[in-house]
Amino acid sequence: MIRQLEQGPPFDAPVEMRIYGPNLNRLQELGQQARSILIQIPNVTHTRDTLSEIRPQLQLQVNEEEVRLAGLDHATVSQQLETLLEGKLGGSIIEDTEELPVRVRVSNAQRGNISQITSLDLQPTGSSLNKNRFSATDTIPLSALAKVELKPEFSLIKRRNGRRVNLIQGFIAAGVLPSGVLQEWQQKLNDSNFELPSGYWLEVAGESEKQGETEANLFATVPLVLLLATSILVLSLNSFRATAIIGGVAICAIGLGFFSLWLFAYPFGFMSLIGTFGLVGVAINDSVVVLAAILEDPKASTGNRRAMRQVVMASTRHVVATTLTTMIGFVPLLVQGGLFWPPLAIAIAGGVGGSTLVALYLVPCSYLLIANFGRSNKE
């Protein structure tokens, strides 16, 4: 299976669905129904499920009377057949500095032909039951002791959490988002009245499941990241009020990133989420620069509007320059990034562009309100 190098968490197949149930034949039927609907979706190149792979297996119907007369039992018959077909180590040879084992067995022609297998000779034991029938050097063909039949069997009975499961997998064309294919598949299943019997249930796997697990792991680290970021901002700005303003800017940046995705009609997926996380760290830089300049100015830090205006105007050139260079840096991903990189690029670039307005307008206004509120309380 040749596939394009994909972004995001690793998965076996982009689109997967698990169907659980007790009966293998029923699971196979349900899997085939789901596959027949999946293959009708455009951009789906290949489908498979774990219970559709049937492999031929040899089945022996042993004649109990003949086996006892030969002084054999089921275990002995099995052991002799394994020795003949799979072989037994008979020594080793030295090739250069490596010791290679030598396995002795019947030829491949005999192993691959049912008639040849049935004519394999088994060695009877020295039981008293067969003294009058066989001499010490006689052998018995397998066909005299058992009937050999070729029957199909499931090559793999897959289980998950102790439950039998049929895993249906779909592979899609390069550059196609799995979420869109999965959504269309679920819609077609609903339209075709695909229903599971009592005792059977399904769950979505593949890229969707792995993305959910990865997102849960990412969000699990959010409290620690927020604690560290807050501590660093408080120590740097030496002000809880200024830190609160930066926290508001971070929330606005997330909203601007989502708005950019909606405005340019990009889906919210794993790469969009990573872009949003990265956006927060980049977007607050301009606000930190503006807020630090206000705090360092003796008049602006007291809430003087004229002084704050001059500080913001002096910082505008630096803020705009860094914003433009950041946004331009994501242009190659937007133009030649396929369908996976643009959501990340548009989330960061759009959020950073909007955060510039937040830094130049919202941050000074917020600080002015807080400064005047503190002054009015003192008065």
Final residue in a domain of this structure, among 144, 177, 208: 208
**Residues 6 or more apart from 95 whose CB is under 8 A from it?**
none
**Alpha-carbon gap, residue 371 to 285, rounded angstroms:** 22
> Which of 183-187, 221-225, 268-272, 291-295 is predicted least confidently?
268-272
Q: How many CB atoms lie within 10 A of CB 46?
A: 11
Higher pLDDT, 378 or 148: 148
Q: Is residue 365 domain-resident?
A: yes
**Alpha-carbon gap, residue 15 to 205, rounded angstroms:** 7
pTM: 0.53
Q: Which two tokens stand for residue 114?
A: 């049912």
Domain of residue 290, CATH code: 1.20.1640.10
Q: How do residues 46-57 score in pLDDT, each as one tens digit? A: 898 888 776 777
* Amino acid occupying residue 183: Q
**Alpha-carbon gap, residue 277 to 226, rounded angstroms:** 12
3-state secondary structure of 107: coil
The per-residue pLDDT for 378 is 43
Q: How far is CA 4 from CA 20, 169, 173, 338, in A?
A: 30, 17, 9, 12
Q: Are residues 262 and 285 in the same domain?
A: yes
**Alpha-carbon gap, residue 244 to 234, rounded angstroms:** 9
Average pLDDT of 32-40? Answer: 90
**Alpha-carbon gap, residue 377 to 81, rounded angstroms:** 96
**Residues 6 or more apart from 61 whose CB is under 8 A from it?**
146, 147, 149
Q: Is residue 8 domain-resident?
A: no
**Alpha-carbon gap, residue 3 to 14, rounded angstroms:** 10
**Alpha-carbon gap, residue 232 to 243, rounded angstroms:** 9
Q: How do residues 64-119 score in pLDDT, each as one tens digit? A: 888 888 888 888 888 888 888 888 888 888 888 888 888 888 888 888 888 888 88
Q: Are residues 199 and 115 in the same domain?
A: no
**Alpha-carbon gap, residue 17 to 20, rounded angstroms:** 10
Average pLDDT of 142-171? Answer: 82
| pLDDT beyond 90 at 20 | yes
Q: How confident is the model at residue 137 (pLDDT cuts 50, 70, 90)?
A: low
Q: How confident is the model at residue 138 (pLDDT cuts 50, 70, 90)?
A: confident
Do the Cβ atoms of 211 and 83 come closer than 8 Å?
A: no
Q: Are residues 41 and 65 in the same domain?
A: no
Domain of residue 148, CATH code: 3.30.2090.10
Q: Are residues 350 and 366 in the same domain?
A: yes
The per-residue pLDDT for 279 is 79
Chain centre distance of CA 193: 28
Q: Is residue 291 domain-resident?
A: yes
Q: Which two tokens stand for residue 87?
A: 């072989």
* Amino acid occupying residue 76: T
Q: Is residue 9 domain-resident?
A: no
Q: What is the DSSP letter of 269?
A: -
Burial environment of residue 67 by CB neighbours within 10 A (0 to 12, 13 to 18, 19 or more): buried
Q: How do residues 199-224 score in pLDDT, each as one tens digit? A: 899 998 887 777 777 777 777 877 88
Domain of residue 161, CATH code: 3.30.70.1440
Q: How do residues 282-327 score in pLDDT, each as one tens digit? A: 778 888 888 888 888 888 888 788 888 888 888 888 888 888 888 8
Q: Are residues 135 and 161 in the same domain?
A: no
Q: Is residue 3 domain-resident?
A: no
Q: Are residues 225 and 349 in the same domain?
A: yes
Q: How many CB atoms lie within 10 A of CB 43?
A: 15
Q: Are residues 229 and 341 in the same domain?
A: yes
The per-residue pLDDT for 375 is 55
Q: Are residues 127 and 103 in the same domain?
A: yes
Q: Is residue 4 domain-resident?
A: no
Q: Are residues 338 and 229 in the same domain?
A: yes
The per-residue pLDDT for 359 is 82
Q: Are residues 25 and 67 in the same domain?
A: no
Q: Is residue 6 domain-resident?
A: no
Q: Is residue 216 domain-resident?
A: no
| pLDDT beyond 50 at 377 | no
| pLDDT beyond 60 at 133 | no
Q: How far is CA 349 from CA 44, 259, 329, 355, in A?
A: 32, 12, 9, 10
| Residue 104 belongs to domain spanning | 56-153
Q: How do residues 117-126 score in pLDDT, each as one tens digit? A: 888 888 887 5
Task: Name the E strands within the chain.
Answer: 15-20, 44-49, 54-62, 88-95, 98-104, 121-122, 140-141, 146-154, 159-160, 163-172, 201-206
Q: Are residues 47 and 95 in the same domain?
A: no
What is the percent of the chain with per-residue pLDDT over 90, rounded to a whole number?
A: 3
> What domain count does the chain have?
3
Mean pLDDT, rounded, of the chain: 81
The per-residue pLDDT for 374 is 52
Q: Are residues 177 and 118 in the same domain?
A: no
The per-residue pLDDT for 128 is 42
Average pLDDT of 133-146? Answer: 72
**Residues 6 or more apart from 343 whose CB is under 8 A from it?**
261, 266, 267, 268, 269, 271, 272, 275
